[in-house]
Amino acid sequence: MMLEAKSLTMRFGGVTAVDSLSLEVPQGEIIALIGPNGAGKTTVFNMITGAYAPTSGKVIFQGSDITAKNPSFIAKQGIGRTFQNIRLFKGLSVFENVITAKHLHLKSNLFQAIFRIKGLSSYPEEEKRMIDETNDLLEKLGLIDLKDAVSTSLPYGKQRRLEIARALATDPKLLLLDEPAAGMNPQETIELARFIERIRDEFKLSVLLIEHHMDLVMDISKTIYVMDFGLNIATGTPSEIQGNKKVIEAYLGSGD
């Protein structure tokens, strides 16, 4: 098991955002976490990555308890993530956006990692490897021809792909994707589904996915967890979730 969330609870004052949620992400699988807006899905991601310390419960990654550890520590263990709202470095190029993530496992400092200033690095071999790996990653993800473009000048779908590339630059074993298809048209969503499957296989990843595009979720997910008002109301295969009355009511409401 790559990841286990055990009875995770997150309270903000008198509001319970997540209530005793348990989920599992097996190695090499794509698992989806879905639910209406405000269900608590991103809060779950924030607890897994150390942005929030859970009120109670545990996060187990590859058998080790990482509950409430520092986000940098958790990233170094092998958990990468993207965000619901794209968070690129707006003034930097595609190449620079990705190479910044490489500093996580390097001895050189972040300033050198970004600007690659010759003569300042105490680790020239390491710096060359970092540059080569960044170019290789951009090549694999179809972004190499855009490496010198300012990140925010890219079409929306390419910006999403760039954010995933930056997460992959941290060498994750588990990739958390927070609404990667947000803002995409149907054709882009289909392409994203194949892209996620490809990087899962090529980079030997496990994937935990938050998404509202049900076609994407049903297409690529092995298991789906459904949240509503902080609670896990259903767990199952895509076919089981599609016919679940609680899920239908959570999304569409009850009525005649």
Q: Mind listing the domains of the chain with CATH numbers? A: 1-78+172-256 (3.40.50.300), 87-163 (no CATH)
pTM summary value:
0.88
Q: Please give the Cα distance from 175 to 129 (Å, whole number).
A: 23
What is d(CA 103, CA 82) in angstroms, rounded to the nearest whole number? 17
Tens-place pLDDT, residues 19-50 = 999 999 999 999 999 999 999 999 999 999 99
Per-residue pLDDT tens over the stretch 227-243: 999 999 999 999 999 98
More confident residue, 157 or 125: 157
User: Of 23-27, 71-75, 109-113, 162-166, which gets the smallest average pLDDT?
Assistant: 109-113
* Between residues 54 and 185, the one the model is more confident about: 54
Q: How far apart are CA 182 and CA 83, in angstroms?
A: 10
d(CA 147, CA 158): 12
Tell me what percent of the residues of the chain surpass a pLDDT of 90: 75
Kindly state the average pLDDT of the residues 136-159: 93
> Sign of dihedral through CA atoms 49, 29, 142, 182?
negative
